Structure 1
Amino acid sequence: MTDPRSQHPFWMREEIHEQPDAVAAALTDQAEGIARMAAALRAARPRRLFLVGTGTSFHAAQCAAWFARLEHVPLTTMAVPAHDFVTYPIALTSDDAVVVISHRGTKHYTGKALELARAAKVVTGLVTGQGPHEAPAGVVVLRTCHQDRSSAHTVSYTSALAVLMLLLADYADCSDDERLRRVILDLPTQLAAALQTEAVVRELAERYAGRQRVYFVGGGPHAVTASEAALKVKETSYIVSEGFAVEQMLHGPMQAVEASDLVVAVAPSGPSTQRIGDLLNAANEIGAARIAVMSGGESLNADASIQIPPTRESLSPLTSVVALQLFAYWAAVTRGKNPDCFRLDEPRYKRASGRFAL
């Protein structure tokens, strides 16, 4: 990390606020590459598209797969962790295509995933950040934004996800394509509106900073956002934080919730809202604090709410995650942690990181 910071404002907050401009630039600058990749997919006519990534990049892959499902993109789109894609390889055929998501572009398993795809001679793409790293010959490279200066990646996540969404919309090439493209290209406006939640989010992060554990829950694509939010809290506050699909949470994990915990529901308007309501009612009986991230007039049993701008459900993971990135940031600052450094300022964690390579 260049030019490290030791106090607020840390790099993480700056990069959260860069997201509207970064997404706008990525969608504009990569328009030609996106069109080229979409054309290559249409020419190859694959039946399956594998989106491969690790950590936050895997969450981008998962959200993009949900986008394809919700927008009826005529291509079976599956998210696969890079480690599993390499270690338990799929028998790729001419009916397949692969897009690898890796912001750094230098991680071991994402590099191996690219090698497997190229060896199988399938259409292959790489969504990555700006930098000198090169992709193998024959790979369509879509570069998103600068390298995150904070180890808690934010701007690279939303930039990669927006590029993937536009790629899938371009591939679909259906009657609704232009309307969908316009909404995607308007995402920077939506992200800017989501940033306006910061004052509310900061107050809530400070209010609940003493909670023992944080559970994020959502349904459908919002379960992915719940996992990403939990990851950001782990990376920055170093506390127990979990992300669950709402039904999975109700089938066992709910029994671990205590009155000293916080439950955050990622609940923009959608078909899972009612089930989220059931979960919040249960959390209330236990005595846990409850926050709901909402985009409309939903009536949910929460102690507080964060209102994000309404948009298509397939795109709302981008707006809801901005509010939750801010929550993770302010929770870390309130706890006296440096959200940029990946805990490498503590000798034992620095030694631990030397025990493995990414």
Structure 2
Amino acid sequence: MCGIVAAVAGSNIVPILVEGLKKLEYRGYDSAGLAVCGREAIERVRSVGRVAELESAASGTAATSGVAHTRWATHGVPSERNAHPHISGSIAVVHNGIIENYESLRTELTAQGYIFTSETDTESIAHLIEATLKDEPDLFLAVQQACRRLQGAYAIAVIDHRHPETVVVARNGSPLLLGVTESGNYAASDASALLQVTRNMVYLENGDVAELTSQAVRIAQLDGTQVERPVHVSELSAAAVELGNYRHYMQKEIFEQPEALANTLEAIGGSKTVQPGLFGAQAEDLLAGTDSILILACGTSSHSGYTARYWIESIAGIPCTVEIASEYRYRSSVTNPRQLVVAISQSGETADTLAALRHAKALGQLNTLAICNVPESAIVRGCALRFITRAGPEIGVASTKAFTTQLAALFLLALATAKVKGRLGEDREQSFIEQMRHLPVAVSKVLDLEPKIEAWAKRFADKQHALFLGRGRHYPIALEGALKLKEISYIHAEAYPAGELKHGPLALVDANMPVISVAPNDDLLEKLKSNLQEVRARGGELYVFADADAEIPEEEGVHMLRLPEHYGLMSPILHVIPLQLLAYHAALVKGTDVDKPRNLAKSVTVE
């Protein structure tokens, strides 16, 4: 979950390294560092905290080749000695991932006389490459040999002061791509870090090792086989990852949701029908043979899956199971070759979800679908079918627009499956399509409620706990609201199905426990109103997000905010927007770091 940038060019690359790290801080921000091939030796600068600290410390450093890193700590506390790059002899290494056999390597290398100065697994890589160079002086070949001994996930970038014209990178499990230009070549964990210099990207495959010079790139696999990887022109623009006039990326991304949804739903265009081909050329035949759906996801993406379960079972009429990806492959499960396995991930590199997908395929479940925001990602490449959500870059750690676009994609999946199964009448299909086309406008109207939500958030500044309630397909929305609040405001928040109040959570309710409820005007509203009365009877203070036509009176202790319109089955997409805004403004009041909450990172590429 760390960020890597590497560069070799004909001019000073330090500003490019620093700017690239700034774009990758969402991947980790415990510490940062860079190393360059100086005139006499490797020059290294490291700092604890944000990239801004590193930028100040590196002022005056200049070189034509180097590597840089921003860290999310796994092995060892955030400190300067644990910060990357790690040096051994004349080489410096940065690393993303986890080396599972680092302890045995550490023991072996210590016996050879290497001294470890950090608690990290990465330092084992540095010493291993340095030891390999004693017998194989070619850096490219030495990195190949060393990587054959590494167990686990890694993306690494290496420089050697004896060969300042070269950077060598390698990938297995953790994301890494190259940026190619006529005057220099680059590597990074994410395309956003390289848009400052090029949109021409080469996506490395697992087992690739690449040698970069300012004039050329060569790629080989670990066994030495030379390979060619195509150059892709990234659709991203540098402006897409700029903050603009917003205070935080999270706020920017919340307000980008109408556009993100419009882009995602552009696939249905002016059509009057939902075409299964939206999910791939094989989709119609594959969906026709599907008798159930298994969704694999983590965190926010799992909440989109839980919401989709209601849609898939009610519209398509087939069973749907949602599994937390980090748990799925560690239990004995009953496989079904007629089941569609859906992997959901914003980045497409989420380690737990990718591992769960591979586990399902190893069990013989080969009918797979990726719902993802990154077209070239590992999860997309690993699935038979795919749907790209087109949310655009999401920099804030707390996911917002990725979530709502996932919901839109999953609703389309429910419709496409229902259509193939003969369960979607023409009138109903047309009604759903019209609603989906209107969705960006409906979301824009909800965003207009921000001033009222901001006023509510001020009441949360002195709270330590909060309870979220929802029923039916809005219970996962309550889960997502609680997650957002705890992620960025550090207010402890839990979510429950409202009917479960009397089975335990009601014991927590008092005047100091705000209770936030999602209250759409659906067939469960009357039961929800009874649950809300249970809260009021115990002195709890209610904050209710209701539809315009939901008959819930505002009174003392019951604060009401009404959404502009009721949206039927798709109302979860609208109801999550005010919960995102509530979390954002509560965090502002409390003064937390909205885009970079403590202990977290955006792309969870370690288990």
TM-score normalized by structure 2? 0.54
Question: AA paired with 1:299?
Answer: I
Give the Cα separation in 2 of the matches to 1:299 and 1:142.
39
Q: Hey, what's the Cα distance between the residues in 2 that align with 1:198 and 1:154?
A: 15
Q: State the match for 1:308 in structure 2.
A: 563
Q: Contact conserved, 1:166 with 1:184, CA < 8 A, in 2?
A: no
Query: Is residue 51 from structure 1 mapped to residue 295 from structure 2 by the alignment?
Result: yes
The Cα offsets for residues 131-157 of structure 1, whole Å up to 9 and x where unpaired, read as 542334552222212231000000000
2:360 is the alignment partner of 1:122: no
Q: CA-to-partner distance for each residue in 1:239-262, whole Å, 9 max, x for gaps?
A: 111111011122111111221110
Q: Deviations over 1:23-78 (max 9, x none)?
A: 110122587533646414333x22111111111000000111111234x3122122
Counterpart residue number, 1:96:
339
Q: Secondary structure at the match of 2:500?
A: helix
Q: CA 1:40–1:210 in structure 2 vs 1: closer, same or farther (change >3 Å)?
A: farther
**Offset from partner CA, 1:192-242 (integer Å, 9 cap, x none):** 121111111111111332223111101111111111000000101011111
User: What residue number does 1:334 align with?
Assistant: 589
1:170 alignment counterpart = 416
Distance in 2 between residues matched to 1:87 and 1:217, nearest whole Å: 30
**Which structure 2 residues correspond to residues 11-22 of structure 1 after superposition, within 5 A?**
11-22=249-260
1:137-286 superposed matches below 5 A: 137-144=382-389, 145-173=391-419, 174-175=424-425, 176-286=428-538
Which of 309, 323, 342 is equivalent to 1:80? 323
Flag the structure with larger Rg: 2
Residue from 247, 250, 275 that aligns with 1:9: 247
- 1:137 to 1:327, Cα distance in 2 relative to 1, 3 A: closer
Residue-pair matches, total: 347
CA distance in 1, matches of 2:257, 2:340: 29
2:446 aligned counterpart, secondary structure: helix
2:309 counterpart letter in structure 1: A
Q: Which sections of structure 2, spanning at least 5 residues, go unmatched?
A: 1-21, 26-242, 269-274
Give the whole-Å Cα distance in 2 for the aligned partners of 1:287 and 1:310: 30
Task: Describe the SS at the equivalent of 1:125.
Answer: strand
Query: 2:263 matched to 1:25?
Result: yes
Quote the Cα distance in structure 1 between the aligned partners of 2:354 and 2:374: 16
Q: Per the alignment, do residues 40 and 193 of structure 1 end up closer, same or farther by CA in structure 2, a change over 3 Å counting? A: farther
Measured against aligned partners, the alpha-carbon deviations of 1:321-351 in whole angstroms (never above 9, x if no partner) come to 001100000000011112210214xxxx89x
CA distance in 1 between partners of 2:436 and 2:493 (Å): 31
Deviates more, 1:79-88 or 1:241-250: 79-88
Q: Give the equivalent residue in structure 1 for 2:579.
A: 324
Q: Structure 1 residue aligned with 2:550, among 297, 308, 315?
A: 297
Q: CA deviation digits over 1:161-193, x for unaligned, max 9?
A: 101101211221121223222222322122112
Q: TM-score, normalised by structure 1?
A: 0.89
Whether the aligned pair in 1 keeps the contact of 2:296 and 2:357 (CA below 8 Å) is no
The residue that corresponds to 2:106 in the other structure is none
**Letter of the aligned partner of 2:552 in structure 1?**
S
Q: Counterparts of 1:247 and 1:46 in 2: how far apart (Å)? A: 33
Return the alpha-carbon distance in structure 1 between the equivalents of residues 280 and 535 of structure 2: 46
**Aligned residue type for 1:39:** E
The more displaced of 236-245 and 183-192 is 183-192
Task: Tell whether the 8 Å contact from 1:217 to 1:264 is kept in structure 2 after alignment.
Answer: yes
Aligned equivalents of 2:281, 2:400: Cα separation in 1: 27
Which region of structure 1 is more displaced relative to structure 2, 211-220 or 176-185? 176-185
Identical amino acids, percent of aligned pairs: 25
Q: 1:36 to 1:206 in 2, by over 3 A?
A: farther
* Bigger Cα displacement from structure 2, 272-281 vs 15-24: 272-281
Q: Structure 1 or 2: larger strand share? A: 2
Q: By percentage of residues, which structure has more helix?
A: 1
The aligned counterpart of 2:49 is none
Give the secondary structure class of the aligned counterpart of 1:151: coil
| Aligned equivalents of 1:109, 1:158: Cα separation in 2 | 21
Distance in 2 of aligned mates of 1:95 and 1:196 = 45
Q: Does the C-alpha gap of structure 1 residues 262 and 193 become closer, same or farther in structure 2, counting only changes over 3 Å?
A: same
State the SS of the aligned residue for 1:91.
coil
Structure 1 unaligned runs (5+)?
none
Rounded to whole Å, the distance in 2 between the matches of 1:191 and 1:89 is 41
| Greater Cα offset, 239-248 or 297-306 | 297-306
Q: Any conservation in 2 of the 1:40–1:123 contact (CA below 8 Å)?
A: no
SS in 2 for 1:75: coil
Which amino acid is 1:242 matched to? Answer: E
Contact in 1 for aligned 2:463/2:491 (Cα 8 Å): no
Cα displacement string for residues 253-311 of structure 1 (whole angstroms, at most 9, x for unaligned residues): 11112211100111111222223222322222332221111112322565211111333
